[in-house]
């Protein structure tokens, strides 16, 4: 299990641990657009850490990163967030491998231009998280991106209208923020125009990048 240590030091949010690259950047996050099930786009501010973020790297320098500077998943799942000062467990994030073990069941299903695939996510926040992550934890769809097998970034976001409308809300990972003392789980559906490549996610809380290799052939 990977431990991500989060603590308050001199008014700054510090992330440190054996597999932590850093924290989110300073300043107010810009609003991001998310697509709802009805295909309307709303501006949704990202939850931000309770304190201003700072960066602290592992003293060992061994972050478990690959050649792209990312944490391969699901090899590094689950990720566990721990308060560095008290040792309290704040959050656990688990993710599965890429799979296609699902069937679209939404009445307003939109035909995809590419191919669907899914990743199962599970997030659990403890009561202690309210002290350091009072705004909760969000898996933000715009933070996912695709890279093809040749290493080229694909301009199309993988969280398309069609992907967001594949499953009923009760059958997918919730679109809402998970807060202290609560949990959420379920699959997220992605759409890719290529059959093989890499899905990358930027975690705004630690600054880490997680990646999933896939080959749908």
C-alpha angle with apex 119: 118 to 120, nearest 5 degrees?
120
Q: What is the DSSP letter of 143?
A: G
Nearest CA to 92 among 132, 123, 138?
Answer: 123
Please tell me the distance from the alpha carbon of residue 163 to that of residue 152, in angstroms, as a whole number: 22
Q: What is the pLDDT along the chain (217 residues), one digit of tens a residue?
A: 666 555 433 233 333 333 333 343 334 444 433 333 333 333 445 555 444 333 233 322 345 899 999 999 999 999 999 888 888 899 999 999 999 999 999 987 788 999 999 999 999 999 999 988 889 999 999 999 999 999 999 999 999 999 999 999 999 999 999 999 999 999 999 999 999 999 999 998 888 999 999 999 9
- Using an 8 Å Cβ cutoff, are 200 and 210 in contact? yes
Task: Retrieve residue 207's tokens.
Answer: 């600054």
pLDDT of residue 107: 85
Do 180 and 123 contact (CB within 8 A), yes or no?
A: no
Q: Residue 200's pLDDT is what?
A: 98
**Tokens of residue 137, six digits:** 């934890």
- Average pLDDT across the chain, whole number: 78
* Confidence (pLDDT) at 210: 97
Residue (of 207, 45, 179) closest to 123 by Cα position:
179
The candidate with the shortest Cα–Cα distance to 34, out of 141, 132, 123, 121, is: 141
The whole-angstrom separation of Cα 151 and Cα 145 is: 12
pLDDT in tens, 14-64: 333 333 333 433 344 444 333 333 333 334 455 554 443 332 333 223 458
């Amino acid at each position: 299990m990977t431990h991500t240590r989060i603590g308050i030091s001199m008014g700054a949010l510090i992330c440190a641990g054996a597999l932590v690259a850093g924290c989110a950047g300073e300043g107010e996050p810009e609003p991001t657009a998310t697509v709802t099930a009805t295909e309307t786009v709303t501006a949704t501010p990202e939850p931000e850490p309770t304190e201003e973020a700072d960066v602290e790297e592992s003293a060992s320098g061994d972050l478990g990163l690959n050649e792209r500077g990312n944490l391969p998943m699901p090899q590094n799942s689950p990720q566990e967030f721990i308060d560095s000062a008290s040792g309290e467990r704040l959050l656990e994030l688990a993710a599965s491998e890429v799979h296609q073990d699902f069937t679209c069941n939404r009445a307003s299903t939109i035909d995809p231009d590419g191919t669907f695939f899914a990743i199962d996510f599970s997030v659990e926040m403890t009561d202690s998280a309210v002290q350091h992550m009072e705004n909760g934890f969000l898996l933000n769809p715009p933070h996912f991106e695709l890279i093809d097998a040749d290493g080229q970034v694909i301009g199309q976001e993988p969280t398309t209208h069609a992907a967001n409308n594949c499953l009923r809300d009760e059958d997918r990972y919730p679109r809402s923020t998970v807060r202290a003392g609560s949990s959420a789980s379920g699959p997220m559906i992605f759409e890719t125009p290529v059959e093989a490549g890499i899905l990358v996610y930027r975690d705004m809380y630690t600054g880490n990048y997680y990646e999933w290799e896939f080959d749908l052939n």
